[in-house]
Amino acid sequence: MNNLRNKVQLIGNLGQAPEIVSFENGNKLAKISLATNEFYTNASGEKVQETQWHSLIAWGKQADIFEKYVKKGQEIAVEGKLITRSFETKEGEKRYRTEVQVSEILMLGNKEA
């Protein structure tokens, strides 16, 4: 059960093309915005879609996969872990951001996406 302590699995669609950052040492970072959708029926009997947006990051070979093969709108499945980092804004305000650090990627849906 130790492997389940910090594990995230999501299936969704990319909201935009992955942002790729290349470093001087040759390493790459991919920043990805993933939308997941849930559907439910409200009290009036109407079908409602609720969308959640998730921030993903991927390093190294995973970033290469995002750069070469994954496009805006494409449906993917990812597995990873939650990480939280802090940073300061230009105004000196401390902020926190929670992201999914991707360890596995599975491309789903249409190959033309």
Cα separation of 36 and 32, whole Å? 13
Q: Which residues make beta-bridge pairs with 94?
A: 88
User: What is the bridge-based pairing of β-strands 8-14 and 75-88?
Assistant: antiparallel
Q: Convert the pLDDT of each residue in 21-78 to its tens digit.
A: 999 998 999 999 999 999 999 999 999 999 999 999 999 999 999 999 999 999 999 9
Q: What tokens does 34 get?
A: 């993933």
**Region 2-38+48-107: CATH code:** 2.40.50.140
Which of left, alpha, beta for 91 (phi over 0: left; psi -120 to 50: alpha)? alpha
Domain ranges of the chain: 2-38+48-107
pTM score over 0.85 = no
